[in-house]
Amino acid sequence: MVKENKISCRLEDGTIVQAQAPVIVSASRSTDIPAFYADWFFDRLRAGYSLWKNPFNGKYLYISYENTRFIVFWSKNPRPLCQHLDELRDKNIACYVQFTLNDYVDEGYEPNVPSLEERLDTFHLLVEKLGKGGVIWRNDPLLLTEQVGVEELLRKTERIGNALSGRTEKLIFSYADITPAVSTNLKRAKIPLREWRESDMLLYAEALSRLNEKWGYELATCAETIDLSKYGIAHNHCVDEKLIVRRGWKDELLMKHLGVTISSDANLLCPKHRPAEAVDLGNGRYARIAPCKHDTGQRQNCGCIKSKDIGEYSTCRHFCVYCYANSKESAVLANCQAHGETPNAASITGKIGKMYK
């Protein structure tokens, strides 16, 4: 993977600043950009840059989109994204969508997402626009409570899995981790979440594997330590170099960044001679990917390759009870109000604050 250096970026007022220029953008683990900030994001793409706030030191950094060739979107309601996808194609920027689609309707754990029927309809709409491999189903996180056990979670998973059958290639799931931030939110909501025991994890994985006999999804976990390979469940790369190559292999700049070579070597046609890192592109073409640097800024067991997240914490209005990215509700509402007052600002909240040198 090519190292990304800072470049000179011209702001809308003519000022020249130094900015990061990522090739792969994540939009976003920190907030739901497709649901709430799609117009803002595409406005910033047209402007050529945005401002990003580092959640650890509070300083701001300019992000240039001059070299951006691929975007991974993360969302619980990506319907507003649909109207902008043609613009991405015009800019020769490829993408895929990580669509978190849970059924916590009765429990009220995701109070501001659309109805399950509407979200399923959105999933189908996105597949029509991006293709089957362009929308990934995330059943994430799986929450155990005194009222909702493993069997009920499996019933919920099966209901959605049946509705999406034939519409996606992959199902990603994770067992909820009760971090201090999540614990605080759950106590505030008076929800008695309980930790997953290994026996529970194995029970769910085995049953999911049986369900998958009728679906044929690729199954994977997100940032989990437990080995579930005996059930056909892999450790996932949510920002996935192989999927990025499959969807963007015609882009020379993107392939150079990933260290990819395209080959029509006849030897690769035989599976037993084909190296594990080779990606089948169809019509006898294969991509070989150089070892990619994984994103050290993510959780210990995360398999994602390096990308630049451009979201900002405490800006998501879904108000999911298990959320790790929101602090106090008052902070979220204040940030959302600031965005509403300055919707075309360089940062999501319209703030600038201290800058990186």
Structure tokens at 257: 């960044």
- 28 prior amide bond cis, ω within 30: yes
The tens digit of pLDDT for each residue in 17-31 reads 999 999 999 999 999
Supply the pLDDT for residue 357.
Answer: 41
Structural domains for the chain? 6-239+307-341 (3.80.30), 245-294 (no CATH)
Structure tokens at 103: 């059924």
**How many Å apart are CA 151 and CA 324, to the nearest integer?**
26
Q: Is 2 within 8 Å of 259 (Cβ atoms)?
A: yes
Average pLDDT, the chain: 92
Q: Is 260 within 8 Å of 290 (Cβ atoms)?
A: yes
Q: Specify which residues 218 forms β-bridges with.
A: 170
The widest CA-to-CA distance across the chain, in whole angstroms, is 61
For 257-282, what is the mean pLDDT? 76
- Residue 300 has a CB neighbour count (10 Å cut-off) of 7
Supply the pLDDT for residue 270.
Answer: 62
Length, in residues, of the chain: 357
**How many Å apart are CA 146 and CA 118, to the nearest integer?**
28
Residue 226 has pLDDT above 50, yes or no: yes
Supply the pLDDT for residue 269.
Answer: 55
Residue 354 has pLDDT above 60, yes or no: no
**How many Å apart are CA 284 and CA 206, to the nearest integer?**
36
Tell me the pTM.
0.94
